[in-house]
Structure 1
Amino acid sequence: MDWLEAVQRHRAARTPAVIVTMAAVRGHAPRNGGAKMVVSTDALFGTVGGGNLEATAIARARAMLARGAAEPELLTLTLSEKSTTEYGVQCCGGEVTMLLEPVPVVASVAVFGIGHVGLELARILGRQQIELHLIDSRAEMLAPERIGVPGSSGPLGDAEATVLLHRLPVPESALMLVPPGTHVLVMTHDHVEDLAIVEAALGTDGVASIGLIGSRSKWARFVQHLRESGHDDAALARVATPVGIAGIDSKDPAAIAVSVAARTLQQIEERAAATAQ
């Protein structure tokens, strides 16, 4: 396994990590420039030379993970008997500079209902470095003739997100396919489907947020059903409706999508900050 595969495994497991690269070497050092190590909170892959140098790099990387650092950092160490740290002495005689690059967990968003608003929302969120799940019970809503090929052609042709399409007769079953920490956005063509998805999301561990498009009267009907199903005030408060940022009153699908996307990106950043604390 090389360092790239180690990073890919961390991404697949949704585990944050830091790539430590020997960026510059002056004089003698245990490893040459370009040597890499991947550090997570409880695992290591590769080496940048062992000893004081490596222990210091690991400690710095794990400190970055603990505070949720998003920007790369440089670490310069002098390897001589006159330069000591809590990890001991290395007398190679050189100086090294290491680049520490965070590999964050990629945020996940699930859009239920790829109608007019859903498609506009997918176009916006698709430009983000996220995992984007698009779910609909209607095959034609996810057909290539309508949405193209994500990352290649059509409305989602410029997508930078990892776009995953789910055509499911029972759309709420997609909650078993998305990773923990997913932000759920509900905007299907059918209020019965919307209610089933919201109820399933409330009963799914690890859902980061639940947003619902709709009127106050629609939510009042949902509240009545959800209370009858045993959901308390704390559970109901997890549902943001109408979802989106304040101050945008337009009912145009593209305008609604901008509002919803803005709030979703806020929630992604809020969750990242909270996780780092």
Structure 2
Amino acid sequence: MTFTLPGFDLDRFVRETLAEDLGDGLPGGGRDVTSESIIPAGAQFAGVMDSRDPIRVAGLPVAAAFFRALDPDMIVDILVEEGAAVDPGSDLMRLEGNARAMLTAERSALNTVQHLSGIATMVRAYVDAMDNPDCTLLDTRKTIPGLRHLEKYAVRMGGGANHRLGLWDAAMIKDNHVLVAGSVGEAVRRAVEAGVEDIICEVDRLDQIEPALEAGATRLLLDNMEPAILREAVAIVAGRVPTEASGGIHLDTIRAKAATGVDYVSVGRLTQSAPAADIGLDFTPL
């Protein structure tokens, strides 16, 4: 099955990532000097990718694309589904093909799976800690440049959902926008007059809620509010628009904040600070 994400060009990502590692365009670049000097051109390897930790898996089809880019005939068997929970020692992928191609693609493939699985694993930990089917965990735009589509995909594999994808698909009115507009209500009004359909307005005080709603905000982001204040805010909104808690949310605070009645909780560290999953790849000459 072909791996596709709207807005993401897998072939280009693979091509540019490998080119970076191979030093394309640099003096002496464009090759894997270690593999070329040590491994015979026709040598064949079998390989097994496995997890050393309990993780949520994400990115295996992308890893497969790295190997196939260098050896189109490589046999790649993906052994687990994306988003699956696996135990330590679980085999994730088996490979058989050209040894040089396998070694050259190894780091790019592993980096991708380790990073995306790390995100999915952290997301699952937050979803479990939240323990609230009535509240949805969201990511943010705090992503590594060039990896946003993949990182947001990993969030979904971990059981979370995506906030806006970028600057284009919803307005997000924050304090600096309000500073220029003069007030929350005026900032929202300008977005409404511009014809923006989805208008998320950040508020950090209860007295900003009514002006934002009256002006036409379609969601309120309740920023850095403690649970007691969040409950008050949710009561004032009274279901007129969805509400989102953001700021100061950690594994030990998410449950209390989600229990206040907000519809969403957003956490920037899901993509910004997730540690890489411990995944390895071992080879055997054929």
Q: Please report the TM-score for the alignment, with normalisation by the length of structure 2.
A: 0.32
User: Which structure is higher in RCO with an 8 Å CA cutoff and minimum separation 6?
Assistant: 2
TM-score, normalised via structure 1 length: 0.33
